Amino acid sequence: MLSKSVRTSTSAVACSRRGPPRLSGCRWRRAGAARARRATPVAGRATTMKSGGGVMDRPAVAKPGVDRKSGTVKKRPPVYRVILHNDSFNKREYVVQVLLKVVDGLTVDDAVNVMQEAHINGLALVTCCAQETAESYCQALRNNGLTVTMEPDSGPFGPGS
């Protein structure tokens, strides 16, 4: 505790926090000054950070298709297109229902768009996936009365891309 003579000689200064003015030894001001002193680098002395705030090393991320232990590259299965053909005997609503039931991850909007494209253009791309998955989709769509074909995907830059 400060003596009476020291208290009277110290002028009252408003604190940055809410409340009445306090003595210049306000704990909020002391904490702010201490933070400012720690952040100021001193010439000739290396600044070290003791906790947090440092630069993290880039995390090691495995590349797709590469086995980390053996270093071998795994070959991806060939990609195939599943193509829906327009027909005159299936109703549009039925086609949308079958697409939603059979093809995983297809939303209602996507199914409607596929159906519309097949109706207008005669053909529509349903999905591109691995050969086994494409075969199962084709078989299930055919079992439900739709006309579907499957072909290898050449990619946007030709075969092998």
Q: At what angle do helices 131-143 and 92-102 cross, to 10 degrees?
A: 140
pLDDT at 74: 79
Distances (CA, A) of 108 to 49, 103, 115: 53, 11, 11
Q: State pLDDT tens for residues 68-90.
A: 777 677 788 899 999 999 998 99
pLDDT at 134: 96
Domains of the chain: 10-39 (no CATH), 79-152 (3.30.1390.10)
CA distance 161 to 152: 11
pLDDT at 15: 47
pLDDT at 113: 97
pLDDT at 42: 53
pLDDT along the chain (161 residues), means of 10: 48 50 52 54 54 68 69 84 94 96 96 97 96 96 97 73 53
DSSP string, 40-91: S--TTS----SSS-SPPPPPP-PPTTB-TTT-PBPPPPPEEEEEEEP-SSS-
pLDDT at 143: 97
Q: How many helices (H) and strands (E) does the chain have?
A: 5, 5
Phi, psi (5° rounding) for residue 120? -80, -50
pLDDT at 58: 72
